[in-house]
Amino acid sequence: SNQPISIFASTAILTQTNFLASSDIRIKNLSDETINLNHIDNINPEIYTYKDSIRNPRKNIGFIAQNVFEHCPEAVSIHQGVIPDIMKVVDILEKNETLITVKNDYNLKEKDIIKIMVDEDDLSGVYTTVIYADEDIIKFKVTSDERLKETIFIYGRQVDDFHELNYDYIFTLGFAGIKESRKDIILLKEQLQAEKTLTQQQATTIQNLETRVVSLEARLTAAGL
């Protein structure tokens, strides 16, 4: 699925209040389908760090979109995106005005779109297209106002199948699972209470029988039997 994106943020978003989402029933068509909670058993959280450690060096816990897609494809959107599969500072072999030549150590091909960074203070980077590539070198253009040095940082290449995960779907699935578990817990409590009541009744019955036996033995003893 390809869900349109209105806002893209490369780092964290902070708000002093809340994020609000439209959820009025009058804008929704409800379905009679039931939520498949078996997905919960198949989706496993992972502990990971980002390959782009510049923006996020910390350890994280979450889900892998490709793994979720296997079981819940509706929770994943696929778009064009850049992956940090190079992340290297490379020497500029040749500068011809805006045409740059560097070694091709990363199996880049003509028409590949790559993300580069020429300014250490600008982590957003710029995108450029490889206009020539062979086994040894690649060539691409940069804009004239970019402050080129003797090296350039190549972040990675653009892919057409970048997976984005809808965490609202995962949250809702987990919430539905909690509700279902709560039903099971309530049912178990009721069963335990019923068994407890039955056990108490049986204990009372046994106690009454024991009392009757003791009374009968006393009567027999009094009768000399």
The CATH number of the domain where 40 resides is what? 2.40.30.20
Looking at residue 105, its pLDDT comes to 93
Put residue 125 in one of left, alpha, beta given phi > 0 → left and psi -120 to 50 → alpha. left
The three-state secondary structure class of 54 is coil
Looking at residue 21, its pLDDT comes to 82
Q: What is the largest CA-CA distance in the chain?
A: 127
Residue 1 domain-assigned (yes or no):
no
Residue 145 domain-assigned (yes or no):
yes
Looking at residue 144, its pLDDT comes to 62
Looking at residue 220, its pLDDT comes to 84
| Mean pLDDT of the region 113-140 | 88
Looking at residue 145, its pLDDT comes to 56
CB atoms within 10 A of CB 34: 7
Give the domain range for residue 42.
25-165
Residue 40 domain-assigned (yes or no):
yes
d(CA 154, CA 115): 6
Residue 146 domain-assigned (yes or no):
yes
Is the predicted pLDDT of residue 122 greater than 70, yes or no?
Answer: no
pLDDT digits (tens, 9 = 90+) for 7-56: 877 777 888 888 888 888 888 888 888 888 888 888 999 999 998 887 77
Residue 175 domain-assigned (yes or no):
no
pLDDT confidence tier of residue 116, bands split at 50, 70 and 90: very high
pTM: 0.74
CB atoms within 10 A of CB 77: 18
Residue 137 domain-assigned (yes or no):
yes
pLDDT digits (tens, 9 = 90+) for 167-203: 999 999 999 999 999 999 999 999 999 999 999 999 9
Looking at residue 120, its pLDDT comes to 65
Residue 140 domain-assigned (yes or no):
yes
pLDDT confidence tier of residue 1, bands split at 50, 70 and 90: low
Looking at residue 199, its pLDDT comes to 94
Is the predicted pLDDT of residue 165 greater than 70, yes or no?
Answer: yes
Q: Total structural domains in the chain?
A: 1
| Residue listed under structure tokens 């209040």 | 17
Residue 12 domain-assigned (yes or no):
no
pLDDT confidence tier of residue 147, bands split at 50, 70 and 90: low
